[in-house]
Structure 1
Amino acid sequence: MPVKPEILKVTPTARSRLFQVEELEIRFSNGVERTYERLASRGNGAVMMVAIDSEDHLLLIREYAGGIEDYTLTLPKGLIDAGETPLQAADRELKEEIGFGCRRLDPLKEMTNSPSYMGSTLTAMIARDLYPCKLEGDEPEPLEVVRWPLSQINELVAREEFTEGRAIAALYLAREFLQQEQ
């Protein structure tokens, strides 16, 4: 295992309402020094849920994504609020985004998005034993809930509007988890 580099200095270089960019001066174990840039980790992480109803359908959301300037089909997800556990955040986000709570949450994997540039994490989970329960969310418009047969994951991933890499990874992790459970 390589020796982790030494961080010599961290300097904030830019800040917006949502992001802070930092410059890291780093020295590797062989003496080489480099400057890296990253989006600073803030907050408590995020959760993404593969919500499965009693008829073995996925409950997806269609929402506007500013990064791609279009609507996208994806899994329910959201930030973990201060004082919340990932399980509590997952249940709350499900209630806000798809109008269901869940009695069973199984964590699948903690993932990073782009570890070279971001330190944020997202915990993917399977949500089952759903029951109707709606909480007010922070979305600017109502989210469309889309039911999709669990047995048709490959067809979902092939759809042009289903592009989020974390959601694709979570679906395949969930399918493997469910197969091992049987």
Structure 2
Amino acid sequence: MRHKPSKEEFNKKFEEVTLDTEQIFKGKIISLQVDKVKLPNGNISTREIVRHPGAVAVLAIYNDKMIVVEQYRKPLEKNQIEIPAGKLDPGEEPKEAAIRELKEETGFDCGSIKQINSFFTSPGFADEKIVLFFAEDLIRGEMELDEDEFLSCESITLEQALEYIKEEKISDAKTITAVYAWQIYKLTGKI
């Protein structure tokens, strides 16, 4: 029988030891640093790392449709259809952030919300972690957008969501993950 490594043993297997860190940029949301690291073979290399406070996203179902927002994404230079999401405020718990973002971006309050999973968006260069939630028993209300947010809210069927993925109207990892989680939920009744 093979030895199952502990979490610590697993994380040490290919560890890169940080020798020096230089902060290059510090913005409102992200920061960029360059780390000089010692590789497992003893060689020295550099790693460019984007630091992010973390975020939440919400798969919200209302009348058997997924609530989505459409907004312009400057890095992609195009509109995207996405599930409601946003960054964590300092000290904020992910569940509270998910409830807040759902309300702000869509106007919906939820009767129940539970965590589905969490994932890192781009672990090759960033530490952003998104916690994905599932919200049901929605109650329609008014959107509360930030002053620099411009978006529209709509609800789409699973078939529309799958078509939007093919058309790349939906092309971000959090929304694609949510669509497939919803598809599994519709097939099994479990999230």
**Alignment-mate amino acid for residue 35 of structure 1:** T
TM-score (norm 1): 0.87
Shift of 1:151: 5.1
Question: 1:116 corresponds to which residue?
Answer: 124
Choose which of 69, 90, 103 in structure 1 pairs with 2:77.
69
Q: How does 1:73-88 map to 2 (within 5 A)?
A: 73-88=81-96
**How many aligned residue pairs are there?**
179
Which moved further from structure 2: 155-164 or 72-81?
A: 155-164
Question: 2:59 corresponds to which residue?
Answer: 50
Give SS of 1:84's match.
Answer: coil
- Assess if the C-alpha contact under 8 Å between 1:92 and 1:135 holds in 2: no
Shift of 1:139: 4.9
Choose which of 39, 53, 74 in structure 2 pairs with 1:28.
39
Inter-partner Cα distance in structure 2 for 1:177 and 1:9? 46
- Assess if the C-alpha contact under 8 Å between 2:116 and 2:132 holds in 1: yes
**Alignment-mate amino acid for residue 39 of structure 1:** V
Q: Aligned-residue CA RMSD in angstroms? A: 2.0
Identical amino acids, percent of aligned pairs:
26
TM-score (norm 2): 0.83
Shift of 1:102: 0.7
Inter-partner Cα distance in structure 2 for 1:38 and 1:166? 21
| Residue 21 of structure 2 corresponds to residue 10 of structure 1 | yes
Q: Deviations over 1:88-122 (max 9, x none)?
A: 11111111111101121121121111111101111
Shift of 1:142: 4.6
Give SS of 1:88's match.
Answer: helix
**Alignment-mate amino acid for residue 91 of structure 2:** G
Give SS of 1:51's match.
Answer: strand
- Assess if the C-alpha contact under 8 Å between 1:52 and 1:150 holds in 2: no
Question: 1:172 corresponds to which residue?
Answer: 180
Distance 1:142 1:33, change over 3 A: closer
Identify unmatched segments of 5+ residues in structure 1. Answer: none
Give SS of 2:137's match.
Answer: strand
